[in-house]
């Protein structure tokens, strides 16, 4: 699949490397001159390449958004035409003061992104754990894979993203429409408060047990 990454830092870099190594065609969008994260991520895999942001987005079937939430509007609005019809995987989280919800829990960040680019099919995924688990999602010995919860309004887009989630190494768990993103963002805050806030190990994920 042809993938583009806007944001090649801890999250974008980890996912770009894993998906390129899994056989996808991955392009890192050049968002600014002299980006150190872009250069560092490019150096991690010979399978990655970089391109100007509009070219990267135009050539992709699926675009990953892995930037600081506050930067999202300035990035996606000028690209609205190039993003129209495409799948946008929103990995971003609005985080406010004191590790609170950055939009005061009134609306999810993903719905805010969707409102900025209404012709784009936004799917929230790869947001509920720290990047350490995107670098290495393996938890051997449990008989289940780490669960990656995701949501979105477009069924076909979610089927595609589920494939990518599995390719990274997680079990995809569809939790419903994009309105569920607010609850995923609170799951993120739970994980972040446990790990970043209280110093617990980042090597902790959720598993989906079924019967």
Ligand X SMILES: NC(=O)c1ccc[n+]([C@@H]2O[C@H](COP(=O)([O-])OP(=O)(O)OC[C@H]3O[C@@H](n4cnc5c(N)ncnc54)[C@H](OP(=O)(O)O)[C@@H]3O)[C@@H](O)[C@H]2O)c1
What are 18's two structure tokens? 């894993």
Minimum CB distance to ligand X smaller for 120 or for 127: 127
Helices then strands, counting H and E runs in the chain, come out as 9, 10
Cα 73 → chain centroid:
16
**CB 210 to ligand X: min, Å:** 25
- The 3-class SS string of 3-33 reads EEEECCCHHHHHHHHHHHHCCCEEEEEECCC
Minimum CB distance to ligand X smaller for 113 or for 157: 113
Distance CA 168, CA 83 (A): 23
Minimum CB distance to ligand X smaller for 131 or for 139: 131
Q: Please give the residue ranges that form the binding site for ligand X (CB under 6 A).
A: 7-12, 31-32, 35-37, 66-69, 71, 75, 91-93, 95, 127, 130-131
Minimum CB distance to ligand X smaller for 106 or for 211: 106
> In angstroms, what CA-CA distances link 66 with 13, 76, 163?
9, 12, 19
């Amino acid at each position: 699949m042809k993938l583009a990454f806007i944001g090649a830092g801890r999250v974008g870099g980890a996912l770009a490397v894993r998906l390129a190594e899994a056989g996808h065609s991955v392009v890192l969008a050049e968002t600014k001159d002299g980006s150190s994260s872009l250069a560092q991520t490019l150096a991690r895999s010979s399978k990655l390449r970089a391109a100007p942001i509009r070219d990267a987005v135009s050539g992709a079937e699926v675009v990953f958004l892995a930037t600081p939430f506050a930067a999202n509007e300035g990035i996606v609005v000028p690209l609205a035409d190039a993003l129209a019809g495409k799948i946008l995987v929103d990995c971003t989280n609005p985080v406010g003061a004191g590790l609170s919800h950055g939009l005061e829990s009134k609306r999810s960040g993903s719905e805010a992104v969707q409102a900025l680019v209404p012709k784009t099919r936004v799917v929230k995924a790869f947001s509920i754990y720290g990047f350490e688990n995107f670098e290495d999602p393996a938890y051997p010995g449990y008989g289940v894979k780490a669960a990656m919860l995701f949501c979105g309004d477009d069924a076909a887009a979610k089927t595609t993203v589920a494939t990518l989630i599995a390719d990274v190494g997680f079990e995809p768990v569809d939790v419903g429409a994009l309105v569920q993103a607010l609850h995923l963002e609170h799951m993120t805050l739970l994980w972040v408060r446990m790990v970043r806030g209280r110093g617990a190990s980042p090597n902790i994920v959720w598993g989906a047990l079924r019967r």
